[in-house]
C-alpha cells in the first residue's frame, strides 16, 4: 500500500509552482521568437510591395489593399 501511495501522491505546491514558472518562461521565449519572425516577415512584404509597384518608367503604381482590420494600405 505504501508504494501505491508514493506513486499517486500529488507533488508539493512548491514543485507545481516551479514547474508552472518554467513553462511560462519557456512559452514567453517561444512567443517572443515568433513575434520577431513575424515582424521580419511583415517588413519583407512591405519591401516586396514597394519593389513590385515600381513601374518600368520609375513611377510608382498605386496599389490599395484593404486589410482585415479595415485599414487601407497604399503602396
* Run of H or E residues at 19: helix 13-53
Establish if 4 belongs to a structural domain.
no
pLDDT in tens, 37-50: 999 999 999 998 88
With CA atoms as reference, report the closest residue to 62 among 41, 5, 54, 7.
54
Q: What is the pTM of this model?
A: 0.57
Establish if 5 belongs to a structural domain.
no
CA distance 73 to 64: 6
> C-alpha angle 70/74/75, rounded to 5°?
140
Whether 63 shows a pLDDT value over 60: the answer reads no
Domain encompassing residue 44 = 14-74
Largest CA distance in the chain: 86
Higher-confidence position of 73 and 19 = 19
Structural domain total, the chain:
1
Amino acid at each position: 500500500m505504501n508504494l501505491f501511495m508514493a506513486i499517486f501522491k500529488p507533488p508539493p505546491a512548491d514543485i507545481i509552482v516551479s514547474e508552472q514558472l518554467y513553462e511560462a518562461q519557456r512559452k514567453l521565449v517561444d512567443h517572443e521568437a515568433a513575434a520577431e519572425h513575424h515582424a521580419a516577415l511583415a517588413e519583407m512584404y512591405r519591401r516586396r510591395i514597394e519593389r513590385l509597384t515600381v513601374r518600368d518608367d520609375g513611377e510608382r503604381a498605386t496599389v490599395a489593399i484593404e486589410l482585415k482590420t479595415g485599414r487601407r494600405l497604399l503602396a
